[in-house]
Structure 1
């Protein structure tokens, strides 16, 4: 029997389990999909067109309900947009970033820049075939485009397999992930600090402030820098390879990767931490002396080390998070700014390059920051951030994913870069009338950034707010980042985790779901946890 057929049978059986054990009725959320379809100008169709969207989503996604109906709507909107990017090719399924073809993409219009986000988000789809194919594509068929942009591929693969319980990765995938990691070391390693460099644009972060300064004293595009991003990605991949090789039975190789990760961690903390800024920063590559210091600017990428749990757990590093709440730092009404607001080169510009990372808010970076914050709240004791901070930033992030039409109607929308003070989608505003010519073809054509697949959101609800912390161990860890005084109820249903259907719900009064008061976790419809309050739960799976 073919793998795809077996997988279909498995998904159908999971759907049957959900039908028997569900707390939520999937039909209650179909109106969201109907509304998205009705408001959509479907310019670029791929594997699942709008008229098949509900059928696909009903069979593949976890269902979510909460009192914040805007956030709930955004959750379904982001699944609706994600399925637009599933593309069937001669090499199997891939996930796109832009719906229209763009000149800077590789084969099948793929771009590695946001590929890790695709894995973190898409790991919650019941059908694992899409991301299995996608990783096979990157490792076997993408050629040089695999490393054209930063891509924490081993970590992303581990994140995916931790949900789908693929304890042992195939030798083909594992060996190619190892070769990819070694190739990054060879091409992007630098000699002075024994860390790694990347060009800002190849990080997907054009016109970043923390690098070279041009002859006019302004941030220059295209510089090489020893950045918190690439070094955190290398750390994350080394840690992931340590786990993957151990699961494959190679203890010696696992030990080697974990040793390399520890070395990166030490050097990042030693070299990229600025004692004066109390923040992780970038060293321009031409600063070739041993005592070179990071550039004197805080950028949102300084939080990326926590995406991989890299920094030590102490107040020296933890207090960096104060900048996220400071309006002189990154705090803004429509999402965190990519450069601290107090810096002289902070800018929200409608001239020059349409995608600048020197001030605008980017969903890509906001998603990284929220993933990092969830790690802090789960794994660190020394930090000023709280569950309330995570909850509030998720609300801001959800609220930012809107666009007001010419007729005054506001609809869900995801695009490229945001004006952090007005919520305007900057690149869209500019490309709609680029030097008097709307939607230039060399920039990607009509509505280039519409439904842009460059960030996560659903994963932040599932693994952050509701708190499923995926693991390769045979257990389910749930740690909600919600307090009883924020929501009176919530439910996450139809979650496929380690081959079982998980339901998590909280009912403060007992009247919402008529199953009693408190916090409950079900596995295949059977209650395995109950508590009167929201608290961390750890359950061994049979």
Structure 2
């Protein structure tokens, strides 16, 4: 009897410990999958169709026959009147889960499905790690991206993977932004020392005497660019913006940790980089952030990387930097029939480097489109300017949607022709389902406009022009442990919740407006 009593006490202790552990988790498991308005089964037909599009010659952790089961448990639901937006939204979730791979150390997330000779263990490549974190932060089950990040930083006998530093990265920034979605402080601070060490590695290896960081364009994942080269050591807007974003994120982690010395140190690093980018990389003549060459001269060519500082809200407000955004509307700048080019179209060297060697001399790369649209959403949300407006964002996101088709079917590859939309390596096996960009994060944080923040207020600022759609709904969003639903219903007839723009938390309405505009719950 005493033995039975001990057994019951031990069992009860385990249950209590388990409950306490669940309560401390940033992602409240009990709220998963509780959509308020939309029904999962309504969107299953997309996956049924996607599964018929291919022979599925490569299968990893979640094969096609398990794709819908995984999606209905893990993803926010999205519905809108423009079918291609909806189709590509579900296609991107369907395609990204193909890259989840079981390894002896947990789940890894790949960039290519086919093995690449320059990849690390498990075919991992670090180039798009920041994109992976930002996209996967909306997946309900946190284990996929958490285990992937842990492998990158501790998968080599407790040390970083051998090829982690093969590419520039904004990992600390992405991890902090993931924390703003799930509020999992424990996971974030567990990686805090790794991020501090990570920053020091880049300082030792890539920092110039003037404080700027240099990088080969190929190590930014942007080879054959107009401003650099595979062996040229230029101070590019990419790595300098990334390091600014990482410094800001680490300072915030240090504040959470109560490490005042490190907090102050990284705030100072961020301040110095901000000043250097604004003074050395800004071309007053072209009114654009440009590459500062190894010869200490500006490159004298506008490239899409000049928008990246706004990805991290780096440029100070009201100093005139926002004028650079006029170039996204200029057909001699970056505006093309199928999206935003990677270099200005007026350049005499535009698209002069040939095709087939991953050129960044003008063709459209989803990697860059993701960065530019994230940056544009920040400008529209955080800067008082009139150079770009909601219709400009919607136009470019719509072109991004339209570009993700090949021979009439949803497709995602490496890069495409800016005037025809033709995927330049679309028939190469390596290019299929190339996991090198975001899309659904743009839909959630930009188009629909859920803006992650550290406090418990819910802020939504849709970038959909007022008269564009009569209705849309984003549902089953796991945010701060709650299920968020955002809907617009012009007439009130679609969702039967009344006319207007509404936000719900766990089914309870918390914000309302008669029109599509920024709302913030109390």
TM-score range relative to shorter protein: over 0.9
Displacement of 1:134 after TM fit?
A: 1.4
The equivalent of 1:385 in structure 2 is 388
Are residue 402 (structure 1) and residue 405 (structure 2) matched?
yes
Aligned-pair CA distance for 1:293: 2.6
Q: Given the alignment of the two structures, is residue 236 of structure 1 paired with residue 245 of structure 2, yes or no?
A: yes
1:411 matched to 2:409? The reply is yes
Shift of the 115–3 alpha-carbon distance from structure 1 to 2, 3 Å rule, reads: farther
- 1:11 Cα deviation from its structure 2 partner: 6.9
Equivalent position of 1:23 in the other structure: 37
The secondary structure found in structure 2 opposite 1:144 is coil
Q: How far apart, in 1, do the equivalents of 2:503 and 2:188 lie?
A: 32
- Cα distance between partner residues in 2 of 1:221 and 1:235: 23
Q: Which residue of 1 aligns with 2:513?
A: 531
Deviation at 1:381, TM superposition (A): 0.4
Aligned 1:31-180 pairs, distance under 5 A: 31-141=45-155, 142-169=160-187, 171-180=189-198
Q: Would you say the 8 A contact 1:207–1:222 is kept in 2?
A: no
Secondary structure (helix, strand or coil) at the match of 1:226 reads: coil
**Cα 1:319–1:6, aligned 2, differ >3 Å: closer, same or farther?**
same
> Aligned partners of 2:243 and 2:145: how far apart in 1?
21
- Asked if structure 2 preserves the Cα contact closer than 8 Å seen for 1:301 and 1:365, the reply is yes
- The answer to which of 131-140 and 3-12 deviates more is 3-12
- Decide whether aligned partners of structure 1 residues 348 and 477 sit closer, same or farther in structure 2, where only a CA change above 3 A counts: farther
Which residue number in structure 1 is paired with residue 313 of structure 2? 309
Partner residue of 1:422?
420
- 2:478 paired residue among 479, 493, 496: 496
- C-alpha deviation, 1:6, in angstroms: 7.3
The structural deviation recorded for 1:222 is: 3.1
Residue in structure 2 matched with residue 185 of structure 1 by the alignment: 203
Tell me if the contact between 1:274 and 1:293 (Cα under 8 Å) persists in the aligned partners.
Answer: no
Q: 1:245 to 1:169 in 2, by over 3 A?
A: farther
1:196-235 aligned at under 5 Å gives the runs: 196-211=213-228, 220-235=229-244
Q: Which runs of 5+ in 2 are unaligned?
A: 1-13
Which secondary structure does the structure 2 equivalent of 1:530 belong to?
A: strand
Q: Which residue of 2 aligns with 1:444?
A: none
> Take 1:28 and 1:361, find their aligned partners in 2: how far apart are those partners?
33
CA distance in 2, matches of 1:254, 1:224: 30
- Return the offset for 1:315: 5.7
Write the distance in 1 (CA, Å) between the matches of 2:299 and 2:70: 48
Displacement of 1:3:
8.2
Q: What corresponds to 2:263 in structure 1?
A: 254
Deviation at 1:44, TM superposition (A): 1.4
Structure 1: state its 5+ residue gaps: 212-219, 405-409, 432-446
Distance 1:275 1:92 in 2: 49
- How far off is 1:259 after superposition? 1.5
- Separation in 1 of the partners of 2:189 and 2:461? 33
Kept in 1, the 8 Å contact 2:500–2:515? The answer is: yes
What's the secondary structure of 1:502's corresponding residue?
strand
Q: What TM-score, normalized by structure 2, do the two folds share?
A: 0.92
Q: How many residues align?
A: 501
In 2, distance between residues paired with 1:114 and 1:503? Answer: 29
Match 2:359 to one of 356, 361, 367: 356
Q: State how far apart, in whole Å, the 2-side matches of 1:4 and 1:205 are.
A: 47
Q: What per-residue deviation string (whole Å, max 9, x for no partner) do you get for residues 127-159 of structure 1?
A: 011111111111112423111101111001111
Does structure 2 conserve the Cα–Cα contact (< 8 Å) formed by 1:118 and 1:456?
yes
Report SS of the residue matched to 1:205.
coil
Flag the 1:274–1:428 CA change in 2: closer, same or farther, 3 A. same
The Cα offsets for residues 243-281 of structure 1, whole Å up to 9 and x where unpaired, read as 111111223321221111011000011100111111111
Return the match for 1:478 from 457, 460, 480: 460
1:361-380 superposed matches below 5 A: 361-380=364-383
Identify the residue that residue 434 of structure 1 maps to in structure 2.
Answer: none
Question: Secondary structure of the residue that 1:513 maps to in structure 2?
Answer: coil
The CA RMSD measured in Å over matched residues stands at 2.0
DSSP 3-state at the match of 1:87: strand
